[in-house]
Structure 1
Amino acid sequence: MNPLQRAEQAVLGAVFLDPGQLERLSPWLRPEHFHRPAHQALFASALTLRDRGHPGSTAALGAVPVSWVADTVTEAGTRTRGVTASYAHQLVGACPRPEHAVVYGRMVLEGAIHRTVAEHAVRLHQAARADTVRGNTEETLVRANALAGLLTDLARRWGASPRPVPPMTQHEPASRATAVVDADEEFLLACLTARPDQLDAVVGWLRPSDFGGPGHQQLYRALGALHHRGEPVDQLTVLWEVQRRGALTNGVLDAERVLTVCDPLAVAGAAEHFGEQVLRAALVRTAAESARQIRVLAEDAALPAGRLIGHALHVLGPLDEVRQRWHTARTGSAPDKPSPPAPGRSSPGRAEAARARSCPRRNSAPTPAAPIPAAASRTPRRSPL
């Protein structure tokens, strides 16, 4: 049995032995935070009986009636199968100290944070892969919003601020190879070479990092540099600019590849359209990479929950930046930034969760200092060397 399962048993055992612990747990610990369905049903049943005014819910430690455990088990049986009275007594024996219920609950919440963050990361990754095939972004944006909202809610339950924190170790991005996206990128580069004036329509929201291939990133940088300096743009000038940037010597590009991609006769169309396709692909690609990194973080059981939330929010940063530029490309205006939340007092549940992680020592009355003897108060003389 792993530590998380023992912690879930300890919480339920503490609730059976001392129902008053529910008042300290219920503001921030929910039934869905338990991993096993039987544990979810038992905790939900205990909350239901307390809300109904069950006599045992107000009993003090050592004076809890047998009906409190029996009725909780009966109520849990209506929610799931396999909950027996013998298992409830086993839970009672699994609780080391009922007064430590908040600490055990914090362990359950930490396990739930790792588990739910990993689940939402998997859903975001699946949505990004599906949108890559469909050529959409709707499902990806929905899952990204759900993951961001989950992290904010978990941070508040954990007693911390939802603040992005860079991970100590940066994960290498996964390699990718998609011919459809590369074709859109080549069409865009050809359009910009044929009509450099179209750069004005895309430079405000399209970045070199949005291109999947390193060679295409270098070509877009070269086109932008030539256009910014007001120099002529054609196949030869682009090739020369790419050479000046070292892309030909480091093997990222070769001369024949540059001339082929930047052939103005290769395609005709609006650069803004192809630019949106490139940015759309960058959005779902960034979402998939962010989801992959968050899943790796969530599967690290040694990572504290607060750090996991902060690291996950940091990993979502690049996706949020691409999403804002995607909104600008589609609507022509930047998205409205949400106003920061008004400062206020923390909820009791948030305070309890925070206290469970760090128990300060009780304040005691200061002990008066003993009077210093006159001889001791004098500065001692140095002995001669």
Structure 2
Amino acid sequence: MSPLLSAEQAVLGSVLLDPDQLAHLDWLAPDHFDRPVHRSLFAALRKLRSDGHPALSADGPVPLSWVTDAVGEAGLHVRGLTAVYAHTLISACPRPAHAPVYGRMVLEGAIHRTVAQHAIRLHQVARADALQGEVEGTLRSADVLTGVLTDLARRWGTDPRPVAPAAAPAAAPATPPVQADQVAEDERFLLAVLAEQPRAMEEVVAWLRPGDFAGPAHGQLYRCLGALHHRGEPIDRITLLWEAQRRGLLADGTLSADQLTAICDDVIPGSAEWLGERVMRSSLTRTAAASARAVRALAEDEALVPGRLINHALHALGPLDEVRARWQTANGSPPPKPPASAPAPDGPPPARVHAARARSTPHPAPSPSARTGPVPTPATARPPSRGHL
């Protein structure tokens, strides 16, 4: 049995044993549970509490109706739940009073699972947009993922900020660019236009970078074009070949004289700005897919605590934010609004966040003078955990 499954069972068992524990789990939602039967049962327990079930005000042992009514309510939404499984949950709970700590474990598992799901979604949308030559869906999915990370950080009680991991995470296997032939053709056409038209570099140099090219050789050739443009030197086949040789691109095999000549001789009329935007679209979707793979790899690391997971995931989205900002510049669009730093009005209050991050901290033993105080009578004292009749 996995630790997460044990934690989910322990949370439900603690509430079945002691309904008062629900008061310490207001920050935990049914969707935080992985198994559908656990979601339905926790939702049923919360409904019984909101309806004022008699077990909440009963003195002494918890009535058996608390368990049977919870099973009956949950059974309306999920199949296969029986009273036998409810008693299995009860036996899986070591200490009912530890319910907030068990709930924190459930929330931690939910954070990993939620981040992974949204990263997968971003990767799928980026690949679909690459096929269609669009970026709007990718940008929306990236915004959703950023918003989810910010919300989860508030629920966990941490400050969402990009933090690079101490050690570089294992690189996920890279997938070839979607429509690689079309992308390579767009890049060759753009380089040909930049080499042929003297003022073409001015149309793209402010927002297009060598890293936006899928082909390493194309990116290096664009770097050579940018260097010549920056120095104010003329651009043609000979000056490009000389710049490539000075940078060692011919010696290390990155470029060949024949490749460069073929690009420069492929004279076609075209707009550098239009071709540059096509290259940027491909770069944005490709970067989004790579960031999504990195975030998913972080979410699948079970040893990573939620606070670090969220902050490392925000750092992994940094390259996408950088490409997106340049895409906004190329299109003249206003930059996206940063996420608000203030908690949402319906977000969990600080007390619940503290409960979510509760640790098993031993309480100091009472002083001798405190022990001499009046002892509560059995009629007014209520134990933290109650048994069933």
TM-score for both structures, normalised by structure 1: 0.88
Partner SS state of residue 96, structure 1: coil
Whether the 8 Å contact between 1:20 and 1:59 is mirrored in structure 2 is: no
- 1:110 corresponds to which residue? 108
- 1:154 corresponds to which residue? 152
Partner SS state of residue 276, structure 1: helix
Question: Relative to structure 1, is the Cα distance of residues 271 and 12 closer, same or farther in structure 2, using a 3 angstrom cutoff?
Answer: same
Whether the 8 Å contact between 1:128 and 1:139 is mirrored in structure 2 is: yes
Q: Which amino acid aligns with 1:48?
A: K
Cα drift, residue 2 of structure 1: 1.2
- 2:229 corresponds to which residue? 227
Whether the 8 Å contact between 2:14 and 2:96 is mirrored in structure 1 is: yes
Cα drift, residue 262 of structure 1: 2.5
Partner SS state of residue 262, structure 1: helix
- 2:32 corresponds to which residue? 33
Residue-by-residue CA offset, 1:8-39 (whole Å, 9 max, x unaligned): 00000011111122122122x11011111110
Give the stretch that moved more between structures: 93-102 or 333-342.
333-342
Cα drift, residue 176 of structure 1: 2.6
**2:143 pairs with one of 141, 145, 149:** 145
- 2:380 corresponds to which residue? none
1:353 and 2:352 aligned: no
Cα drift, residue 184 of structure 1: 0.8
Whether the 8 Å contact between 2:162 and 2:312 is mirrored in structure 1 is: yes
Whether the 8 Å contact between 2:154 and 2:343 is mirrored in structure 1 is: no
| Aligned counterparts of 1:363 and 1:179: Cα–Cα separation in 2 | 72
Partner SS state of residue 156, structure 1: helix
| Aligned counterparts of 1:357 and 1:280: Cα–Cα separation in 2 | 47
Q: How does 1:288-327 map to 2 (within 5 A)?
A: 288-327=289-328
Question: Relative to structure 1, is the Cα distance of residues 352 and 196 closer, same or farther in structure 2, using a 3 angstrom cutoff?
Answer: farther
Unaligned residue ranges in structure 1 (runs of 5+): 366-385
| Aligned counterparts of 1:257 and 1:107: Cα–Cα separation in 2 | 57
Instruction: Name the % identity.
Output: 58
Whether the 8 Å contact between 2:196 and 2:267 is mirrored in structure 1 is: no
Residue-by-residue CA offset, 1:122-145 (whole Å, 9 max, x unaligned): 111111111111111122122212
Question: Relative to structure 1, is the Cα distance of residues 160 and 248 closer, same or farther in structure 2, using a 3 angstrom cutoff?
Answer: same
**2:213 pairs with one of 211, 214, 217:** 211
| Aligned counterparts of 1:46 and 1:277: Cα–Cα separation in 2 | 54
1:3 and 2:6 aligned: no
Cα drift, residue 198 of structure 1: 2.1
- 2:13 corresponds to which residue? 13
| Aligned counterparts of 1:33 and 1:150: Cα–Cα separation in 2 | 14
Unaligned residue ranges in structure 2 (runs of 5+): 368-389
Whether the 8 Å contact between 1:242 and 1:248 is mirrored in structure 2 is: yes
Question: Relative to structure 1, is the Cα distance of residues 358 and 258 closer, same or farther in structure 2, using a 3 angstrom cutoff?
Answer: farther
Partner SS state of residue 200, structure 2: helix
Cα drift, residue 306 of structure 1: 1.8
- 1:283 corresponds to which residue? 284
Whether the 8 Å contact between 2:101 and 2:360 is mirrored in structure 1 is: no
| Aligned counterparts of 1:321 and 1:364: Cα–Cα separation in 2 | 56
Whether the 8 Å contact between 1:128 and 1:140 is mirrored in structure 2 is: yes
Cα drift, residue 86 of structure 1: 1.3
Question: Relative to structure 1, is the Cα distance of residues 343 and 88 closer, same or farther in structure 2, using a 3 angstrom cutoff?
Answer: closer
| Aligned counterparts of 1:66 and 1:200: Cα–Cα separation in 2 | 78
Q: Which amino acid aligns with 1:273?
A: W
Q: Which amino acid aligns with 2:155?
A: R
- 1:82 corresponds to which residue? 80
Whether the 8 Å contact between 2:147 and 2:339 is mirrored in structure 1 is: no
Cα drift, residue 208 of structure 1: 1.0
Q: Which has the higher contact order (CA 8 A, sep 6+)?
A: 2
| Aligned counterparts of 2:192 and 2:364: Cα–Cα separation in 1 | 72
| Aligned counterparts of 2:64 and 2:212: Cα–Cα separation in 1 | 64
Question: Relative to structure 1, is the Cα distance of residues 301 and 338 closer, same or farther in structure 2, using a 3 angstrom cutoff?
Answer: closer
Whether the 8 Å contact between 1:324 and 1:334 is mirrored in structure 2 is: no
Whether the 8 Å contact between 2:122 and 2:138 is mirrored in structure 1 is: yes
Residue-by-residue CA offset, 1:76-110 (whole Å, 9 max, x unaligned): 01111111111111111110001100111111111
- 2:191 corresponds to which residue? 189
Q: Which amino acid aligns with 1:244?
A: R
Q: Which amino acid aligns with 1:124?
A: L
Residue-by-residue CA offset, 1:225-276 (whole Å, 9 max, x unaligned): 111111101111111111111111111111111111233x532111000110
